[in-house]
Amino acid sequence: MQIGNLKIDTPILLAPMAGVTDYSFRILCKEMGAGVVYSEFVSAHGIIRKNEKTLDMIRFTEMERPIGIQIFGDSPEVMAKAARVVADKFQPDIIDINYGCPVPKITKKGAGSAALKDLCLMDDITTAVVESVPDLPVTVKMRAGWDMSNIVAIEAGPRLEKVGVKAIALHPRTTKQSYRGSANWNLIKELIQTVSIPVIGNGDIKKPEDVVRMFDETGCDAVMVARAALGNPWFFKQATALLLGASLPPIPNTHERIDMCKRHLELLLESRGEHIGTNLMRKQFGWYIKNFPGASSLRQSLVLAKDKEAMEKLLGEVNKNHK
């Protein structure tokens, strides 16, 4: 698969997820075979104001390439300036525009999937970004439409291609659906028939077999994995094996789950420091610590643990107890 001039070896990608796809999680997913990883979505206004917290969300290491930085905003001028700052300061492989976030805090400002209500604004923002970074492929992640009465993805696709977008990731739910109901994979298939650029399918990928099924049912060029990877970076290794016609690798045992959890904690401590790192890890425990005896009480203890030493001790004890 190619996005512009960028060759991607494995067409199974890690979706951008707010509060999740930071450096620590991207590294784990990359090590497990994700073909492209994406940053959390980053505010264009924060970027051009040089907000340090915002810029920290963009920083990445060479190990993470190819990587896409996803930006959001409601103004063509601000989005264009932000894209240029990202390109100059960080040199990612892809600039991705968020037209998919359904969260009211974002859509009320006219950003995220609110652009689906005004395709002319979407055209203007996209054109401005493409023209500001001619040296980088610009991609878009979008929803099907604002609501069931306004499914616009099939109309938006050719417009985005015309202004220079190099790939489209479609999550075929509406903004109003949020994450409820089912993703309509038929819309991915329809979008493919209207554009000649790569289409990346996203939505309702719950197990590795779903990746193969999405390729088969839609004919998409790549599959983007989101919630199925939470606490489960192995997902990419498993899905890739199935895609290559191999058998499904074994489900990680308790030791492997605990070891991955410990590594995630180490990466967070290394990148964010102890105070922020341990706080961010608390939600990760909910995703890793499950499906083995005593998981519920261990999870609660880890979430309440006062510092990294307490967390490390608890994780060490569970490994001893499951010999």
- Domain boundaries defined on the chain: 2-243, 254-321
| CA end-to-end span of the chain | 43
Give residue 291's pLDDT. 82
**Is residue 323 predicted with pLDDT exceeding 60?**
no
**Is residue 272 predicted with pLDDT exceeding 60?**
yes
Residue 315 in tokens? 């994780």
Establish whether 101 is a catalytic residue.
Answer: yes
CB 40 within 8 A of CB 21: yes
27-49 mean pLDDT: 96
Give residue 148's pLDDT. 85
Domain 254-321 sits in CATH at: 1.10.1200
How many angstroms separate the CA atoms of 43 and 49, rounded?
10
CATH number 3.20.20.70 is the correct assignment for the domain at 2-243: yes
203-210 mean pLDDT: 96
CB 178 within 8 A of CB 160: no
- pLDDT by residue (tens digit) across 91-124? 999 999 999 777 777 887 777 777 888 899 999 9
- Give the helix/strand (H/E) hosting 233: none
Catalytic residue among 101, 120, 220, 261: 101
